[in-house]
Amino acid sequence: MPQKIIYLKDLAEPWRQELTNREMIEYPYYATLDDVIELKEGKDILLRDNEGNKVSYVPCQRLMETVFQSWKEISAYYDALLCSIDDAVTGVNQKGEIVTWNQASEKFYGYSWKQVMGKPITQFFEEEAIVLKKILKSEEPIRRKYNQPITDVHVLINARPVYSNGKLIGGISVERDISDIVRLNEELTNTKAYISDLENKYEKNRIYDPFEKIKGKSRQIREIVSLAKKVAKTDATILITGESGVGKELFAEAIHNASPRADKPFIAINCGAIPASLFESELFGYEKGTFTGASKEGKKGKIDLAEGGTLFLDEIGELPLDLQVKLLRVLQEKRFYRLGGNTPIPIDVRIITATNRDLEEMIEQGKFREDLYYRLNVISLQIPPLRQRREDIPELLSLFLEEFSIKYGTTIPKISSSVMSVFLQHEWRGNVRQLRNLAERLIILSGEEKEIELRHLPSSFQKGLEEMKKEVPLPVLSVTNDEETKIRLALKKTYNNKSAAAKLLGISRATLYNKMQKYGIQGGSKSSESVND
């Protein structure tokens, strides 16, 4: 029920006198629509309460002023909202005439508010590109639909019909400009393909191991590289799994370069970086005239570009279910259709996929197709995280420090034994990528200093150092007089890495080998350096 305080000065005769007699100086009234009684030929209204008593007399002029003021306030908020939105907002009435057009729309499409208001939307856009016309016919809302309303403008649209009292009166759309993302993606794809082609041409002129970029001498990494070399010679579909930052794309490139397809393109596409509405056209391409604003010659998809070579689908776990079905069909039939095309195109492409997600768990949750999983998982390569091959940390760190010292024109600093010990104990949740980023930070912050010390490390590593001090090995090294015990503890502490153990003990590596031979400690000869140096 509405509630309002009525004052005598606001009431008109004849009710003012009557209400005064009833001592209704400040009288709260409660009335429903049925209680409204029109008086004086429809100009004024009288409100009665639930008991039929006369409560208030409302002049028509007062009512109109109040309604108009409310309309002005709502309109002000509406205009402010439209001006505050970065996305283009367009509204049409049931006839398809433009009734809403904000500043972002003016910027996107080059038409001012005065030019478009009240005019048919078809006067400014081609019929097939107008999503709002389809909304008026279907009366079904649309979310995140890709569209190209005019040449060189790419948008994602949210649109829905507008109703008043249950009757359709028009439609409204909100269009987010993704033109820069689309152009950047195309430029990045073309650049990567060009660079890959240059690399392939360069590598043809020298004999090399395609896996030489994968560094590490630990048993885990040697085993996975050995398996990758075997499967590289085949056309088997490969699924590479592992945490973020372990180097899955590096393995995919190495497998391609070690395969009979090495002289053909290696095309990579990140399934999680491209909007689902764009992914299908990126993967399969489209025929000319498929939609307004599309290239007149059509466009090749990634499958086309990878013809004869390798298509690497990174983050395959992010692929929507509807696209999983289409990818499965391509793998089964060895052919595909471009968007807007009716002619099947045969393919000769090797598929390598990668993910950091548990696909078997996703299958149980209904988020990944089981039949596609088995198609992709002919050969599985599980890349171990850095914390499971800590003995590779010194070698990787040295390589990264050298890389960034060249980049920034500084000398290569040494790593103190305490810093190396902290690195060997760290969890490295970001894996090799985290180590590489940290090496760049150390080169920048250490400047011209000759040695990297604990003070150069981020605060998260300082916390790790405090935890490490509670684990006893470092204090034991300083208090025990048993040289053999010291050596064994240092090797254990550094996961049997001779270089790190020598630094921890404050001796040269040659001296460490001599002492290991002296005490009969396994690996105490220079001929055994292959794994843990």
The predicted-structure confidence for 140-191, as pLDDT tens digits, reads as follows 888 888 877 777 778 888 888 999 888 898 999 888 888 778 778 778 877 8
> What does the alpha-carbon distance between residue 222 and residue 204 come to, in Å, rounded to a whole number?
25
Question: In degrees to the nearest 10, what's the CA dihedral of 496, 500, 504, 507?
Answer: 100
Q: Which range has the worst mean pLDDT, 99-103, 119-123, 290-294, 403-407? A: 290-294
Q: What is the pLDDT of residue 166?
A: 86
Q: What is the pLDDT of residue 462?
A: 65
Q: Which tokens sit at 353? A: 């996929």
Q: What is the pLDDT of residue 36?
A: 40
- Which string of b and e fits 87-114 if b means at least 16 CB within 10 Å? bbbbbbbeebbbbbbbbbbbebbebeee
CA 132 to chain centre: 29
Q: Which range has the worst mean pLDDT, 27-36, 53-62, 274-283? A: 27-36
Nearest to 336 by CA among 273, 373, 282: 282
Q: Which tokens sit at 130? A: 């107008």
Q: What are phi and psi of 233, to 5 degrees?
A: -75, -10
72 CB burial (10 A radius; 0-12, 13-18, 19+) = exposed
pLDDT at position 7 over 70? no
> What does the alpha-carbon distance between residue 319 and residue 236 come to, in Å, rounded to a whole number?
21
Tens digit of pLDDT for each residue in 42-55?
455 666 666 767 66
Average pLDDT over residues 83-97: 87
Angle, CA 315 vertex, CA 391 and CA 386 arms, to 5°: 10
Which residue do the tokens 């009366």 mark? 139
Q: Which range has the worst mean pLDDT, 77-86, 211-220, 260-269, 330-339? A: 77-86
Q: What are phi and psi of 141, to 5 degrees?
A: -70, 155
> What does the alpha-carbon distance between residue 530 and residue 38 come to, in Å, rounded to a whole number?
101
Compute the mean pLDDT over every residue in the chain, rounded to the nearest whole number: 79
- Upstream peptide bond of 59 is cis (omega within 30 degrees of 0): no
Tens digit of pLDDT for each residue in 32-42?
333 344 333 44
3-state SS assignment for residue 235: coil
> What does the alpha-carbon distance between residue 167 and residue 201 come to, in Å, rounded to a whole number?
66
Other C-beta atoms closer than 10 Å to the C-beta of 231 total 19
Tens digit of pLDDT for each residue in 459-516?
877 665 555 554 444 444 444 557 888 888 888 777 677 777 787 777 887 888 888 8
Q: What is the pLDDT of residue 382?
A: 95
Paired strand residues for 208:
none
Q: What is the pLDDT of residue 475?
A: 43
Question: In degrees to the nearest 10, what's the CA dihedral of 198, 204, 210, 213?
Answer: -50
Average pLDDT over residues 405-433: 87
pLDDT at position 435 over 60? yes
Cβ partners under 8 Å of residue 32, min gap 6: 1, 50
Tens digit of pLDDT for each residue in 313-322?
999 999 989 8
- Say if residues 55 and 32 touch (Cβ distance below 8 Å): no
- Which DSSP category does 526 fall into? G
Q: What is the pLDDT of residue 245?
A: 92
Nearest to 309 by CA among 450, 174, 199: 199
Q: Decide the pairing of beta strands 310-314 and 350-355.
A: parallel
337 CB burial (10 A radius; 0-12, 13-18, 19+) = middle
> What does the alpha-carbon distance between residue 348 and residue 310 come to, in Å, rounded to a whole number?
9
Nearest to 267 by CA among 252, 285, 277: 252
Cβ partners under 8 Å of residue 433, min gap 6: 244, 245
Q: What is the pLDDT of residue 295?
A: 58
Nearest to 362 by CA among 315, 326, 431, 329: 315
Distances (CA, A) of 449 to 357, 413, 415, 444, 461: 41, 7, 11, 10, 20
